[in-house]
Amino acid sequence: MAIPAKLRAPGWYRAALFDVLGFAFAFGLTTLIRWLMHQHPVIDGAAITIVALIAVPLFFLVGIGTMDYWFYWAAGRPTRPEDHSQHGAYTWRDYFRPNTDHKVIGIQYVVHSFFFLLVGGLLAMLIRAQLAKPGMQFLTPEQFNGVFSVHATVLIFLFVIPVFAGLANFVLPLMIGAPDMAFPRLNALSFWMLPVAGVLMLMSFLAPGGSFAAGWTAYAPLSTSMPIGQLFFTIAVQFAGASSIATALNFLVTIITMRAPGMSFFRMPLLVWANFATSLLVVIATPFIAASQFFVLLDTALHFHFFDAFVGAGRDGNVIMYQHVFWFYSHPAVYIMILPGFGIISEVIAVKARKPIFGYRMMAFSLLAIVVLGFTVWAHHMFVSGMASWIRIPMMITTAIIAIPTGIKVFSWLATLWRGVLHIDTPMLFALGFLTTFTLGGISGIMLAMIPFDIHVSQTYFIVAHIHYVLYGGSLFTIFAGVYYWFPKMTGRMYDERLGKWHFWMTFIFFNLTFGPMHIIGIQGMPRRVAEYAAKFAAWNLFISLSSFVLGASTLIFIYNIVVSWRWGPRAAANPWRGMTLEWQVSSPPPIFNFDAVPTVVGGPYEYGVPGAVHGILKPPAEAKPVPAGVAAGSSGQGSHT
């Protein structure tokens, strides 16, 4: 039988066909096993759904064409010589196919992530609408629990983590003078696992019994006793996690092996350092959340009773173990969600203040210190969990200690501003706004480390305030700074500066009006994750809801600015900010293979103000002349080729 070429070639037609095959596979396998095991009914909708949740995405990834090359290779068939047919984007359609160009993948990541920012943001608007008045509003409690669970999950796993991976995907190979990432096909696969995770999470709203509603933390045994929508979370997280791990490996190998000649570790821009540190966190920590969700999957689907510990029933599951495994990932995850932002802020502040980063080496070492310490603090999320009480003391101490490297970074940025020539445009405004909001989030973080105070505010709105100060005022502000900063490089167009400033001021003001008062109602005793609250919190909640709607609307300015500027904005110069790092030395957008010749790095990345200093020369080492200037900092590192 002749199969039409469209169904044989990688692409959406074959992906659709494979989705059907994947579902048929799940149906067949489940029904066969149930028949062999004499189970009734033989055809069980829930069982088929669970297997399909795993099988269909995998079939989709094969169908869309992310694995063709590997299958050819594994089957011993001749692999197609790399013709770069999957490299670069010539029409908008190329962004909807597996692509091996890190710049295309970077844009795929960023745009995809911002789509999910809007989804998560709209869910936040629903939450605030429900909470504008005491008493039940238009959502049922089940729906409300589902909405805030999906809100958090989407924004963590499909916005903050991948958008950083996306920005780094675009910028990092350029910054280190590499033609691409180390594993371009793996890079493509990493991206395509994200839409899979996103579709699963949103599809959970259609599941019988509603979407997953046990919070993004999915504590067992609540999560193991939920309707089947919970498993959409359980399995979606596996895909998002696998995507993270693959990308992190890719970054690590790229950074270690593909730096341009002369680019010693201590000549790397801090964004590269930040992603190096983040990638270490990802590869070590992410398997733990995978494990925690496999526990839930096995408990729910096959009754393993890991977390089945009901009093009087003689069951010996261990409920607190879930939290230990979960937070062993999810605490490092907060650093996964902020370290790349630290990198962005370092780039923006150095360039916009026209000064070298103050204490460059300490900035790099403090990142590594955070990586190590980040693994020693997880149980501070569990001070009221009923775990062995002595664990709280060392966790308080390590949590407080981690403020020291973080403080070093903040103080170094401030010192970088000092006596600079400050160009206060949109990226810089977001960087300065970040310094304010993140300092507040850091201070509430130190307070939360103090066990007695934490006992009071755990599981209240104070926690909601804190996480939004570090994830919105922290991560999202750095993301906005980064997107505005590299927009000319990524699109070849300039954004509208006036709209950018409007966006910043609206975001900054209404961010603080939305999340600032949450500290107060939290300490006053309003629990988080409630669809309904005591009347005494009514005034503040109305205020918060109204502020949040304006905050939500401020995002529309950003979207408008980006869309219109991308299409009609004025052409961007290669180096509109006069940056020294390598990505600004090539055209905007960069050529398809980044550099015509392998560049040579001859000095530190931030030698602003040093007369005649150059970071890199776009010539191979043999032709690049040594540059005596700009050797003051960061250039004494090993591996100098000059």
Residues 411-450 within binding reach of another protein (CB under 8 A): 411-412, 414-415, 417-424, 432, 435-436, 439-440, 443, 446-447, 449-450
> 179 or 215: whose CB is closer to another protein?
215
Rounded to a whole number of angstroms, the minimum distance from the CB of residue 214 to another protein is 7
Residues 549-578 that bind another protein (CB under 8 A): 578
The Cα–Cα gap between 529 and 144 comes to 9
**The two structure tokens encoding residue 471:** 């994830």
Residues 277-336 that bind another protein (CB under 8 A): 300-303, 308-313, 315-320
> 11 or 527: whose CB is closer to another protein?
527
> 530 or 542: whose CB is closer to another protein?
530
Residues 25-44 that bind another protein (CB under 8 A): 37, 39, 44
Candidates 472, 504, 515, 608; binder of another protein (CB under 8 A) is 608
- Going from the C-alpha of 58 to that of each of 16, 73, 230, 486, the distances in angstroms are 12, 19, 20, 34
> 51 or 490: whose CB is closer to another protein?
51
Q: Is 54 in the site for another protein (CB under 8 A)?
A: no
* Residue corresponding to tokens 């920005």: 167
Residues 6+ apart with CB under 8 A from 103: 88, 170, 490, 589, 590, 594
* Residue corresponding to tokens 């396998």: 29
> 435 or 550: whose CB is closer to another protein?
435
Q: Is 208 in the site for another protein (CB under 8 A)?
A: yes
Q: What is the DSSP letter of 379?
A: G
The Cα–Cα gap between 224 and 222 comes to 6
Q: Is 206 in the site for another protein (CB under 8 A)?
A: no
- Going from the C-alpha of 519 to that of each of 149, 472, 522, the distances in angstroms are 21, 15, 5
> 385 or 642: whose CB is closer to another protein?
385
Identity of the amino acid at 475? S
Three-state SS letters, 203-260: HHHHCCCCCCCCCCCCCCCCHHHCCCHHHHHHHHHHHHHHHHHHHHHHHHHHHHHCCC
Query: What φ, ψ does residue 601 adopt, rounded to 5°?
Result: -100, 130
Q: Is 83 in the site for another protein (CB under 8 A)?
A: no
* Residue corresponding to tokens 């890190």: 102
Candidates 22, 184, 221, 482; binder of another protein (CB under 8 A) is 221
Rounded to a whole number of angstroms, the minimum distance from the CB of residue 153 to another protein is 14
* Site stretch for another protein (CB under 8 A), options 168-176, 262-270, 286-294, 405-413: 405-413
> 117 or 526: whose CB is closer to another protein?
526
> 356 or 427: whose CB is closer to another protein?
356
Beta bridge partners of 493: 571
**Sign of the torsion formed by the C-alpha atoms of 111, 115, 118 and 123:** negative
The Cα–Cα gap between 214 and 192 comes to 27
* Site stretch for another protein (CB under 8 A), options 117-125, 329-337, 491-499, 523-531: 523-531
Beta bridge partners of 460: 527
Q: Is 403 in the site for another protein (CB under 8 A)?
A: yes
> 263 or 531: whose CB is closer to another protein?
531
Which string of b and e fits 30-61 if b means at least 16 CB within 10 Å?
bbeebeeeeeeeeeeeebbbbbbbbbbbbbbb
Beta bridge partners of 571: 493
DSSP string, 79-120: PPP---TTSS-SSGGGGGS----HHHHHHHHHHHHHHHHHHH
- Among 514, 336, 103, 62, CA closest to 111: 103
Rounded to a whole number of angstroms, the minimum distance from the CB of residue 412 to another protein is 8
Rounded to a whole number of angstroms, the minimum distance from the CB of residue 451 to another protein is 5
Rounded to a whole number of angstroms, the minimum distance from the CB of residue 422 to another protein is 5
Candidates 17, 42, 46, 550; binder of another protein (CB under 8 A) is 46
Q: Name the 3-class secondary structure at 567.
A: helix
Candidates 179, 609, 621, 637; binder of another protein (CB under 8 A) is 609
> 358 or 484: whose CB is closer to another protein?
358
* Site stretch for another protein (CB under 8 A), options 97-105, 116-124, 325-333, 457-465: 457-465
**The two structure tokens encoding residue 243:** 């995507």
Query: What φ, ψ does residue 493 adopt, rounded to 5°?
Result: -125, 160
Q: Is 470 in the site for another protein (CB under 8 A)?
A: no
Rounded to a whole number of angstroms, the minimum distance from the CB of residue 32 to another protein is 15
- Among 121, 111, 194, 191, CA closest to 152: 121
* Site stretch for another protein (CB under 8 A), options 157-165, 180-188, 211-219, 588-596: 211-219
Identity of the amino acid at 594? N
**The two structure tokens encoding residue 461:** 């709105």
Residues 104-143 that bind another protein (CB under 8 A): 140-142
> 386 or 570: whose CB is closer to another protein?
386
The Cα–Cα gap between 67 and 311 comes to 49
DSSP string, 550-569: HHHHHHHHHHHHHHHHHHHP
> 129 or 564: whose CB is closer to another protein?
129
| Under 8 Å between Cβ of 492 and 359 | no
The Cα–Cα gap between 302 and 46 comes to 12
> 220 or 334: whose CB is closer to another protein?
220
Q: Is 525 in the site for another protein (CB under 8 A)?
A: yes
Residues 175-194 that bind another protein (CB under 8 A): none
Residues 342-401 that bind another protein (CB under 8 A): 353-356, 358-362, 384-386, 389, 392-393, 396-397, 400-401
* Site stretch for another protein (CB under 8 A), options 77-85, 261-269, 410-418, 620-628: 410-418
